[in-house]
């Protein structure tokens, strides 16, 4: 019993977070104990997250209300074009381009075994429901903005099959050589795709 219950409890709360192992958690707890200012700062930051809710339509964050988020309520956006992303940070990356003016569905990390979690099934059902009720049964386009990896391809084809009758068109983000990248270092698959979809 080298560590007290309080320290252990805080360490175990940290280890429940993604990407934080027990060693890192221990380091964080001792750091916070010896930095009371940062501990208070973190407590304040986390407490204010208690007010943040999830948009019932796209599942992005929404504040100070139980209604829809600003993407879902923005009349200037094209609600018939829906980008399905795994993570909130993917949505943020797409927003930063300022090129996408449709709306979103955040699905959560897709498992590599191709089985949807209950929450993911629920979110897809809510999308289907929205398309049925608000778009007359079919969206213009569903962009499957899933990572271009083997698992991502698998998930995308699975989702496309599931959503088949709910959109006129299914697309994925283009694959190619990143801006500033070099042809010499592109892998064969990327280069094949860049050649095939040359524009």
Q: Which helix (H) or strand (E) holds 144?
A: strand 139-145
Q: Any idea what DSSP says for residue 145?
A: E
What binding mask, one character per residue, do residues 123-142 give for a copy of itself by CB under 8 A, x or -? --------------------
Provide the total of helices (H) and of strands (E) in the chain, helices listed first.
8, 6
CA distance 165 to 66: 30
- Choose the stretch contacting a copy of itself; rule: CB under 8 A; options: 2-10, 122-130, 138-146, 149-157: 2-10
> Judged by CB under 8 A, does residue 27 bind a copy of itself?
yes
Concatenating the DSSP letter of every residue in 108-119 gives: -PPPTTSPPPHH
Q: Do the Cβ atoms of 141 and 170 come closer than 8 Å?
A: yes
68 binds a copy of itself (CB under 8 A): no
Question: Residue 12 CA to chain centroid, in angstroms?
Answer: 25
**In 3D, which of 150, 16, 166, 13 has the Cα closest to residue 84?**
166
Nearest CB to a copy of itself, comparing residues 30 and 154: 30
Instruction: Compare residues 23 and 164 and give the one whose CB is closer to a copy of itself.
Output: 23
Smallest separation, CB 2 to a copy of itself (Å): 5
Please state the closest distance from residue 138 (CB atom) to a copy of itself, in A: 29
Total interface residues for a copy of itself by CB under 8 A: 54
Q: What is the DSSP string of 39-56?
A: HHHHHHHHHHHTTEEE-T
Closest CA to 147 of 177, 172, 115, 111: 172
Q: Among the candidate windows 36-44, 77-85, 120-128, 162-170, which touches a copy of itself by CB under 8 A?
A: 36-44
Q: Single out the segment in contact with a copy of itself by CB under 8 A; choices: 89-97, 130-138, 143-151, 181-189.
A: 89-97
Helix, strand, coil percent content, the chain, rounded in steps of 5: 50, 15, 40
Q: Which of 56, 61, 160, 193 forms a contact with a copy of itself (CB under 8 A)?
A: 61
Piece of 33-41, 128-136, 155-163, 173-181 that binds a copy of itself (CB under 8 A): 33-41
**Which residues are near a copy of itself by CB under 8 A?**
2-4, 6-7, 9-14, 16-20, 23-24, 26-34, 36, 38-52, 54, 59, 61, 63, 87-89, 92, 95-96, 108
């Amino acid at each position: 019993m080298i560590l007290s219950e309080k320290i252990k409890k805080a360490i175990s709360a940290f280890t429940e977070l993604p990407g934080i192992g027990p060693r890192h958690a221990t380091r964080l707890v001792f750091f916070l104990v010896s930095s009371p200012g940062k501990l208070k700062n973190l407590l304040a930051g986390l407490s204010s997250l208690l007010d943040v809710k999830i948009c019932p339509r796209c599942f992005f964050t929404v504040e100070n209300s139980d209604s829809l988020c600003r993407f879902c309520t923005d009349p200037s956006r094209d609600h018939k074009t829906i980008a399905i992303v795994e993570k909130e940070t993917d949505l943020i990356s797409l927003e930063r381009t300022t090129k996408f003016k449709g709306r979103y569905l955040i699905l959560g990390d897709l498992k590599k075994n191709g089985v949807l979690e209950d929450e993911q099934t629920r979110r897809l059902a809510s999308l289907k429901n929205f398309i049925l009720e608000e778009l007359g049964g079919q969206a213009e386009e569903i962009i499957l903005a899933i990572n271009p990896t083997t698992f991502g391809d698998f998930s995308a084809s699975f989702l496309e099959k599931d959503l088949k009758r709910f959109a006129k068109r299914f697309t994925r983000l283009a694959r190619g050589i990143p801006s500033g990248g070099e042809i010499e270092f592109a892998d064969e698959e990327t280069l094949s795709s860049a050649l095939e979809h040359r524009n």
